[in-house]
Amino acid sequence: MNDDNRRLQEFQKSWAQNKYWVMGRSQQAYNAIRQLAKNNQWSDEKQVHYATILASLEEVSPSSKTTRVVAEHIWGYFKKRATPEEKQMFQQLVEDENRIIQEMPRFLKSLQLAYPDAYLAKMRWFDE
């Protein structure tokens, strides 16, 4: 494997882990990283830019809006298996700006435990 392919694979692995964490902090940063990854080409320069974006988000807290966006993406992994009660709880949390930031991550983590998904299990978002 050449260096370019290795760099791209390392980025893709990192992005798979960080995607929802980034989305939960800044849609602009999420879009910037997607632009960096465009055409599946990766370089040291892009890696530095990516690392800088991640570092800049360390002190950024999720908002109710960004939490809602992430929750709706993650919910897609569970909605077909969720019970009626879980579906109702998801709707209640999505609609309540006061509860979504505090309670939605815990709720989605409980769904991840109930309905394990290997891709989501690697997500940094679930580690918080």
pLDDT at 85 exceeding the cut of 80: yes
pLDDT at 1 exceeding the cut of 70: no
Is 37 exposed, middle or buried (CB count within 10 Å of its CB: 0-12, 13-18, 19+)?
middle
What is the predicted pLDDT for the residue at 6?
A: 86
Please state the pTM of the whole predicted model. Answer: 0.89
Q: What pLDDT digit, counting tens, does each position of 94-121 carry?
A: 999 999 999 999 999 999 999 999 999 9
